[in-house]
Amino acid sequence: MSENVSINKNLMENSKIDKLVLKFAIPCVIAMVVSALYNFVDQIFIGQGVGYIGNAATNIAFPFVVLAQGVALLFGDGAAAFYSIKLGEGNTKDGAKGVGNAITMLISTGIIFLVIGYIFLEQLLWGFGATSTTIVYALDYMKITLISVPFTVIMCGLNSIIRADGNPQYGMGALLAGTIINLLLDPVFIFYFHMGVKGAAIATVIGEFISCMMCINYLRKFKNIKFNIRLLKLDFNIVKTIIIFGISTFITQLAVTFIIIVSNNMLAKYGA
């Protein structure tokens, strides 16, 4: 393991900066472009299969997902920064603890979001800008999509850590796999089985599950540490540091969530 750390450290120290930037940036850009394209195509399928009300319903549900992703990035980006610093110090023991603590927090928050979502789902959707016309569709969509929230949280968080381990290509592959599966299943469930927004939700759950499982599979492939179950034990000093490192990303996602909610409510009030 120490040999792997040395190899990766030498790579970061001796490789040309432009090559390193391209190595890490290109997979991230590709993943972001494909993700944006997926959201666009997904809305086309829903619009064609359900109509504009289906599009409105999924947009109403979107703030909950964005907020969940924000919490995922709070721990994921925070742990990635913590992990990178510890690797730079040659302290793989604490780096591994940071990864384990982040995974525990990701699993916990994913479950919390799932429970809160099911308990307060209708109230949340009204707050997100639902109307008497869209609430039924939004409920149909979210009752199924909520199942995928823990998968989304774990996948988003682990993806950041995987990149920090020096394998952005794997993280990109995990995201692309789920996205492609989702896009392939969307027309099947929406048009062939005539399931409408429920079909889109099922496709989302399956896609997020695939991406999540690929990220979890990486736990046994870390380049710099050896992951084991004991690392999941929380160290609140480490958790505190992770939160400090990740808070800026979380605030950004929180702002995006707020903007979407305000926009949805304005559209509900004044029409579009």
For residue range 121-153, what is the model confidence (pLDDT) as tens digits?
A: 999 999 999 999 999 999 999 999 999 999 999
**Chain centroid offset of residue 3 CA:** 32
Using the predicted structure, report yes or no on whether residue 6 has a pLDDT greater than 90: no
pLDDT tens-digit series, residues 232-247:
999 999 999 999 999 9
The pLDDT value given to residue 239: 98
The pLDDT value given to residue 236: 97
pLDDT tens-digit series, residues 56-67:
999 999 999 999
Among 178, 159, 180, 155, residue whose Cα is nearest residue 170? 159
Q: Report the alpha-carbon distance of residue 141 to residue 43 in Å, rounded.
A: 13
Q: Report the alpha-carbon distance of residue 70 to residue 263 in Å, rounded.
A: 19
pLDDT tens-digit series, residues 37-53:
778 888 999 999 999 99
User: Where in the chain are the domains?
Assistant: 2-270
Using the predicted structure, report yes or no on whether residue 115 has a pLDDT greater than 80: yes
Residue 134, helix vs strand vs coil: coil
Q: Which residue has the tokens 């380049």?
A: 223
Q: Which residue has the higher pLDDT, 172 or 1?
A: 172
Q: Report the alpha-carbon distance of residue 195 to residue 242 in Å, rounded.
A: 41
**Paired tokens of 153:** 């949280």
Residue 199, helix vs strand vs coil: helix
Using the predicted structure, report yes or no on whether residue 161 has a pLDDT greater than 70: yes
Among 41, 64, 44, 61, residue whose Cα is nearest residue 52? 44
Q: Which residue has the higher pLDDT, 199 or 269?
A: 199
Q: Among the listed ranges 40-44, 111-115, 181-185, which one has the minimum average pLDDT value?
A: 40-44
Q: Report the alpha-carbon distance of residue 72 to residue 91 in Å, rounded.
A: 24
H or E element in which residue 265 lies: helix 236-270
Q: Report the alpha-carbon distance of residue 211 to residue 72 in Å, rounded.
A: 14
The pLDDT value given to residue 272: 54
pLDDT band of residue 14 (cuts 50, 70, 90) is low
The pLDDT value given to residue 255: 97
The pLDDT value given to residue 114: 98
pTM for this model (two decimals): 0.92
Which stretches within 90-195 are classed as H helix? 92-119, 121-127, 135-145, 149-164, 168-187
